[in-house]
């Protein structure tokens, strides 16, 4: 059985990803600050991905118990606690989002990539993968939450550099770029985006669901795109379409 580590697994997109992988034969380890035992995963770790000093403890715990990590899904993320104009963004909010959305996933990926490289030397039929969950905000400006956009843009580049570095070890790395997904994070702005979606912001005319992203993760995890490391897959209901 393959082992998947999913960060931010307690709710929203992360929970949907974890449940989809578990339904399809993965032994899922869910990591989250808010996760509790009893989730439908093989194992849960209550921890903070932004606490880089704890990463080695988490990873060693998983490998000691399950042998290896076949799939890392960097999903954990946060929005600003208060939306402010870019001219008013605070250092504290900027640093918080960088720690959660970029610094934590970057160094967790570094640690696990090293383990994957070593495991490939000794394990047969071991085909590990890394997936970064970013956002359309990696390329779409929102001046009232600039620190979120910058953190996601950095995460997108992290996916590219890891894909570039790991290709020689035959470890594919992908980025999934969600659009406007209905989660706890977006419920506070639901009325705003209900109107914008009705006005045509999303060509497919609806909110995305966490399950939409989970299905994308599963397809990559199962090897549906074997010749595409470094690929960015946008799941946004057509927001990526450029039109006049």
Tens-digit pLDDT profile for residues 45-75? 999 999 999 999 999 999 999 999 999 999 9
The 8-class DSSP code of residue 123 comes to -
How far, in Å, CA of 202 to CA of 189, rounded?
16
Does residue 42 carry a pLDDT above 80? no
pLDDT at 40: 66
Could you tell me the domains of the chain?
3-235 (3.40.50.720)
pLDDT, mean over the chain: 96
Full-model pTM = 0.96
pLDDT tens digits for range 111-145: 999 999 999 999 999 999 999 999 999 999 999 99
- The pLDDT tens digits for 202-240 are 999 999 999 999 999 999 999 999 999 999 999 999 999
Which residue is listed with tokens 């790991």? 166
Mind listing the pLDDT tens digit for each residue in 148-176? 999 999 999 999 999 999 999 999 999 99
pLDDT of amino acid 105: 98
Please work out, in degrees rounded to the nearest 5, the angle formed at the alpha carbon of residue 98 by the alpha carbons of 97 and 101. Answer: 70
pLDDT confidence of 187, banded at 50, 70, 90? Answer: confident
Q: Map residue 3 onto helix, strand or coil.
A: strand
Q: Is the dihedral of CA 10, 140, 224, 230 positive or negative?
A: negative
Residue 58 falls in the annotated catalytic set: no
Between the two ends of the chain, the Cα-to-Cα distance in Å is: 49
Catalytic residue among 26, 58, 148, 193: 148
Whether the per-residue pLDDT at 243 is higher than 90: the answer is no
Rounded distance, CA 197 to CA 9, Å? 27
């Amino acid at each position: 059985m393959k082992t998947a580590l999913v960060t931010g697994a307690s709710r929203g997109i992360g929970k949907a990803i974890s449940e989809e992988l578990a339904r399809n034969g993965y032994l899922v380890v869910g990591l989250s600050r808010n996760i509790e035992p009893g989730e439908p995963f093989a194992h849960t770790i209550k921890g903070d991905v932004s606490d880089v000093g704890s990463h080695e403890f988490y990873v060693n715990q998983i490998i000691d118990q399950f042998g290896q990590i076949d799939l890392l899904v960097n999903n954990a993320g946060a929005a600003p606690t208060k939306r402010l104009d870019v001219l008013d963004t605070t250092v504290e909010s900027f640093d918080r989002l960088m720690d959660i959305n970029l610094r934590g996933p970057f160094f967790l990926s570094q640690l696990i990539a090293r383990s994957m490289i070593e495991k490939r030397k000794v394990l047969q039929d071991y085909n590990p993968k890394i997936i970064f969950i970013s956002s359309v905000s990696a390329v779409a400006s929102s001046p009232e939450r600039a620190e979120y956009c910058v953190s996601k843009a950095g995460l997108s580049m992290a996916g590219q550099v890891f894909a570039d570095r790991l290709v020689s070890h035959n470890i594919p790395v992908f980025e999934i770029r969600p659009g406007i997904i209905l989660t706890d994070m977006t419920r506070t702005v639901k009325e705003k985006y209900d109107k914008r979606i009705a006005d045509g912001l999303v060509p497919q005319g609806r909110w995305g669901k966490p399950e939409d992203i989970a299905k994308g993760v599963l397809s990559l995890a199962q090897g549906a795109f074997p010749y595409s490391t470094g690929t960015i897959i946008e799941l946004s209901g057509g927001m990526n379409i450029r039109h006049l």
